[in-house]
Every structure is written in C-alpha cells, then in structure tokens.
Amino acid sequence: SSDSCYDELSCSVVAPNDKHGLEAIRLLHRQLDDDENGAVDPYESDDFLREELQYESGAERRQKAFHRNDDMHISVKELWEAWVRSEVHNWTIEQTVEWLSVGIGLPQYAQTFITNNVNGATLPRLAVSNMQYLSSVLGIKDPIHKQKIALKAMDVVLFGPPKELSNHIKDGILVTLLLGAIIGFWYAYKMNKNSRRHLKRMIKDMESLQKAELALENLQKELERARQEQECATTQKADLERKLLEQCGDGTELRTSYSDLEVSQLKAEIELLRSELQRAEGELEDRCWSPPVGLQQWLQLTHEIENKAYIKKKLSAEKQLQSAREACEKLRKKRSSLVGAFVSTHGKSIDEVDRSIVEARTLLNEVTQELAERVHRWKKIELLCGFNIINNRGLNVLEAELYKGVINGRSLGSKGLMSSQDDLDED
C-alpha cells in the first residue's frame, strides 16, 4: 500500500537517493511488526525493547521517543520519515566514529568507518539482522562485535541518540567554547601587555626628543646672547672712537668738560689704543697681507645664505616634531583601554608613531650639531679676518649691494645660488 511504502513509486518518492537505507528501515519495521499487520503498536515496541535489545532501564523513554505524538501504529512510511528527521540521520562521519568509539567501545574499527564513509544515514544498514553490510563491506569478522554494533545501531535508529553520547557532545561543545574564551582572554592580555611595553618605549623616545629640543633652544639662546654682546662691544668701541676724535680735535673743550682725573684716564686709554694700533700695524706689515676689499660683504652674504638653509631645515624638524607629538597623544588616548589594544588598523600603529619620533629626534640632533658647527666656524673666520661677519645688515641689503649692476639683477647671483641650494635640499 501507499501508506506502508511498499510499491516502487512510493519508495522512489520517499527515498530517491537512499534506497539501501529505505530497505534497511523496511527490514527493521518487519522485525518489530510481530503480527505483520503493517504497523508497530506499543506492545510490539515494548516487547522488542525488553527481549531483543534487553533494555530494562530507559525502556519507557525509548518507547515514548518511538511513538511520537501518541501515534499508536507506526507504518514503514512513518518510521522512514521519523528516521529522516532524526538527529542521528544527520550525524557526520566524525560523530558516527565517536559513537562507535565512546558509545559502543570499539575504537579499533574507527579507521574502517572513516575509510568507508560511514555516517548517520548509513546506520540502518548496520542494524539489520542479516549483518551483510558489516561483514561484506566493512569486513568485520568478530560475531560478538558485529552483534554489538547491530544492536547499538538499531537502538539509535529507532529510538534516537543515547543520552550519554549527547552529553559527551554537549560537553565537547562547552569545552571548546571555554577553551576559545580562555584563548581570547590570553590573546587580549598579551596584546595589552605588548601595547603597554610599546607605549613605554614611545614615551622614552619622546623624552629623548624633548631633551634634543631643549638642547637646540639652549644653543640658540647662547648664540643670541653672544650676538648681543658682540653688538654691544661694537657699539661701545664706535662710541669710544667718536669721543676720542672729538677730544683730540678740541683740547679746550676737553679741559672744560672733564676733570683732571678723567683727562688723565682718557689719555692713558689713548696711549693704550695707539700702542695696540701700532702693534697691529706691525703685525700686518710682517705678514704682508690684508683682507681684499669686499671680502667682508661676500662672507656676510655666504653666512646669511647658510643661515637661511638652516632656518628652513629647522622649521622642517619642528614640523615633524609637532606631527610626532600629535600622533603620540592620539595613540595614547586610543590605546589606554583594554579594547584599544586590539585597534591597530585605524590611524598610526605604535611602531609607526615610534619611528616618526625617532626620525624627528634624529633630524633635531642634526640641526643642533649643524648650528654648533656653523657658530664655531664663523667665529674662527671672524677672528682670522678681523671684521664682523655674523652681525651684518641682512640678506636683502647685501644682495642689493653685491649684485647691483649685474645683468638681470639677482638672477645670476644669489637667486641662482639659492635655487641650486633648494634643489640639493630636496634631493
């Protein structure tokens, strides 16, 4: 009949891809149906549980699972449909092997099950009484083992997965979740620890960068103080020379303006200046050399061009320093929490910020060293030449005087020189 799924048409509709499984379900149904009326009633299922499977404890639970929704008469079609919907039917090969190893206690056949791709849908063929699949396909020869596998397969096919195996699966899932949580917390701890270590290194680099910046500021202050002292000395010298000239030109005014003591002091200073002047003239005559006319202005222009390049490099270093500070502050705020330890794709990472700090510090040190070298070198040149170079009238005035009368003005002079200098800086 159609309800019992006996005709070929119904079989093909119910199980077009698993005819071996359907045939095994038919044989199991026939084994339970003692009166052969095409339906399994509660009395027949109870006898089967107690006599065939020899279950005393748990028989009621299994019988209730078999007669779902109080269905007192189970046909082949109903048994097949219940089997297809069951959890066991959807077991993977791994789950079936676990059932074989843990539920039955025969792990020696695990590789055989894996090789033959035995999964949940294959279990009805293991449960039939003729045991042909166990012997011919799987090659299991031990009759006790075959009987044990067949009974356990019959149990899970008809009555669902064993409670113990379900607990094992749940325990496995819980252990996996717990292990994943532990690994996640450990990873978060390691990331947070690495983040703190990198932050300490970055803070240390920032401190060294601040020291380099302070050293540059101190050197600039010292240079400014020396320049002011030199300007003051030059002004005092000019004032003294002017007063001496005025006093020498008008002796009467000198006598009426100063006391005898002041006059004697001024005369002594005049004699000292004359002796120094004579000594300097003698040295110049001995050396037979004096700086060429115009050398002072050209050296002053050279100093100012160097100073302009230095200022450009200094501004670049200060800009890079400010950028490194801002990136460091943003990263410090972002990574201050545990969650922030995972955020490394937005903005600059710790390594990038640390690299920018080191580059800014290196550039700042170079600027400081270059400034110290320039100050030392130009002071030596001033001593050798005997005139002022560092203190001058400025780049624009010097260019206007030195390149006056040259074709196209500054285009052949300082402008061309500065453009070449800029090209070198860009390289």
Higher pLDDT, 260 or 15: 260
Print the domain residue range for 91.
8-161
| pLDDT bracket for residue 302 (50, 70, 90) | very high
Query: What is the chain's mean pLDDT, rounded?
Result: 76
Whether 74 and 154 map to the same domain: the answer is yes
Examine residue 262 and state whether it is found in any structural domain, yes or no: no
For residue 283, being part of any structural domain is answered with no
Distance between first and last Cα of the chain: 94
The whole-angstrom separation of Cα 419 and Cα 397 is: 19
Quick one: tokens of 178? 């717990």
Are 129 and 31 within 8 A, CB to CB? yes
Tokens 């115009």, located at residue = 294
pLDDT, position 303:
93
Are 24 and 128 part of one and the same domain?
yes
Over residues 162-207, the pLDDT tens digits come to 765 555 566 678 888 889 889 988 888 888 787 778 777 777 877 8
Do residues 147 and 200 both lie within one domain?
no
Residue-wise pLDDT for 328-378, tens only, equals: 777 777 766 555 555 544 444 777 877 888 888 888 888 889 888 998 999
Q: Are residues 150 and 225 in the same domain?
A: no
156 and 222 in a single domain? The answer is no
Question: Among the three residues 118, 137, 161, which one is the final residue of a domain in this structure?
Answer: 161
Q: How confident is the model at residue 146 (pLDDT cuts 50, 70, 90)?
A: confident
64 and 139 fall within a common domain: yes
Place of tokens 């990136």: 327
DSSP designation for 389: S
Give the number of domains in the chain: 2
Cβ 360 vs Cβ 209: under 8 Å = yes
Task: Identify whether 345 is part of a domain.
Answer: yes
Q: With H, G, I as helix, E, B as strand and everything else as coil, classify residue 74.
A: strand
**Residues 320, 359 contacting (CB under 8 angstroms):** yes
Write the DSSP symbol of residue 341.
Answer: G
Determine if the pTM surpasses 0.85: no
Q: Does residue 176 fall inside a structural domain?
A: no
Q: Encoding tokens for residue 405?
A: 């009368």
Three-class secondary structure of residue 7 per DSSP: coil
- What is the CATH classification number for the domain harbouring 312? 1.10.287.3550
Q: Is residue 267 part of a domain?
A: no
